[in-house]
Amino acid sequence: MKFIIVLALVAVALARPDDSHYDSKYDDFNVDEIIENERLLKAYAHCFIGDGKCTPEGNDIKKWIPEGTTSSCAKCTPKQKILVAKTIKAIQTKLPAEFETLTKQMDPDNKYGENLKKFLSEYGN
């Protein structure tokens, strides 16, 4: 009986999601489709800002952006780091007004500007 309880506890521990990373379900999300279409990119940017509708993917990415800004997306998988960085970089270059609004929301005191630059240069290509 003790063995069954221990086995059940091990199964529960293994089934629990990894708290150190976000869910990997979007690791293969085609971010290029968004960043190559200015209309889609603008819609996602306004989702992230909070003044537009969000897709389920947009809602999840929106959750990662503040963390990407403050900690170089420490909880992101390597693929998610690329996804977040490419999205932020595309908004920065193609939609500067939206980028400025997003930056003011996520980092009003510009504490993380240098971290963001490093993160974008490392993962945003």
CATH of the domain at 68: 1.10.2080.10
- Which regions of the chain are under pLDDT 70? 1-19, 68
In a domain, 11, yes or no: no
First to last CA, the chain: 55
In a domain, 3, yes or no: no
Question: Which range of residues forms the domain containing residue 63?
Answer: 26-123
In a domain, 20, yes or no: no
Report the pLDDT value the prediction gives residue 5, as an integer from 0 to 100: 31
Scored b (16 or more CB within 10 A) or e, 74-98 reads: ebbbeebbbbbbbbbbbbbeebeeb
In a domain, 71, yes or no: yes
In a domain, 2, yes or no: no
Report the pLDDT value the prediction gives residue 8, as an integer from 0 to 100: 32
Report the pLDDT value the prediction gives residue 10, as an integer from 0 to 100: 34
Counted domains in the chain: 1
Query: Model-level pTM?
Result: 0.76
- What does the mean pLDDT of the chain come to? 80
pLDDT in tens, 61-96: 788 777 767 788 888 888 888 888 898 899 999 999
- Determine the length of the chain: 125
